Amino acid sequence: RSINNSVLELINRRLPRPPSYRQARGPTEGMAGTVEDSGKTAPSSPAGLRGADLGLRVLLFAVSLSGLVVLVTAKQTEMVPLVLTPPFRFGPVPAQFKDSPALIYLLVALCMTSLYSLVTAASSVKSMSSSASCAKGIFVLILLDVVYAGIMASATGTAGAVAWVGLKGNSHTRWNKICNIYDKFCRHIGSATCLGLIASILLVLLVVLNAYSLYRRSR
């Protein structure tokens, strides 16, 4: 029996001991930690982009509506000479935005943009309340923003040309300036044109913002 015990003790010394639970768990935890550390982080929530989109659309509505009000109130009546040869005769001559097709175009563009910004702002609020917004909806918004940016830019350009002629005149075509007489009318036209330019810039910013949001989804 003593010989058998000696043999068993010798065998136990030569055989490798099984790793303990903590030793066996250590490499696994290290590997898991390495995988977690090297893994890609989840994309951040697009709540900030949605908030920026809503803010820009609310600002667009305020700017376009202000430009619309300023343009509609662009009216002034002054006494101007009706006959340029003696005896001179003076009479009241009104100046209003309806006298120029370019200003009517700006009025229509501002109306469309204000309505569009109101509808899309409501849509942006709805998308913020949901868990995720549809990529197809963002793409449609980009297309519509591009269209309205083009409309507002062209309307602002035509109105700006008319405002410049009214301010400086054109000696080559013998178009006399009128802003020295209709000063209030010209201030309204100039302010409406500047607000139209701001609306165009806001629409371009919305295009860039939504394009970036769509790009983040494709990564």
Same domain (yes/no): 113, 25: no
* Number of domain units in the chain: 2
Q: Residue 77: what pLDDT? A: 87
pLDDT digits (tens, 9 = 90+) for 45-102: 467 788 888 999 999 999 999 999 999 999 998 888 777 667 777 788 889 989 899 9
Write out the residue range of the structural domain in which residue 22 sits: 2-38
Q: Residue 84: what pLDDT? A: 66
Higher pLDDT, 100 or 11: 100
Same domain (yes/no): 204, 149: yes
Same domain (yes/no): 67, 34: no
Same domain (yes/no): 25, 53: no
Q: Residue 115: what pLDDT? A: 97
Q: What is the pTM of this model?
A: 0.74
From the list 96, 103, 99, 98, the residue with the least C-alpha distance to 156 is: 103
Instruction: Give the H or E element holding residue 88.
Output: none
The amino acid at 155: A
Q: Is the pLDDT of residue 145 over 80?
A: yes
Q: Residue 158: what pLDDT? A: 95
Q: Residue 106: what pLDDT? A: 96
Same domain (yes/no): 8, 74: no
Q: Residue 206: what pLDDT? A: 95
Higher pLDDT, 194 or 127: 194
Contact 54, 121 (CB under 8 A): yes
Neighbours of 75 (CB within 10 A): 14
φ, ψ for residue 106, nearest 5 deg: -65, -40
State the average pLDDT for the chain: 81
Q: Please, which residues have CB within 8 angstroms of residue 196's CB and are 6 or more apart in sequence? A: 64, 67, 106, 109, 110, 152, 155, 156, 159
Same domain (yes/no): 52, 24: no
Q: Which residues lie across from 96 on neighbouring strands? A: 75
pLDDT digits (tens, 9 = 90+) for 158-200: 999 999 999 998 888 888 888 999 999 999 999 999 999 999 9
Same domain (yes/no): 18, 97: no
Q: Residue 143: what pLDDT? A: 95
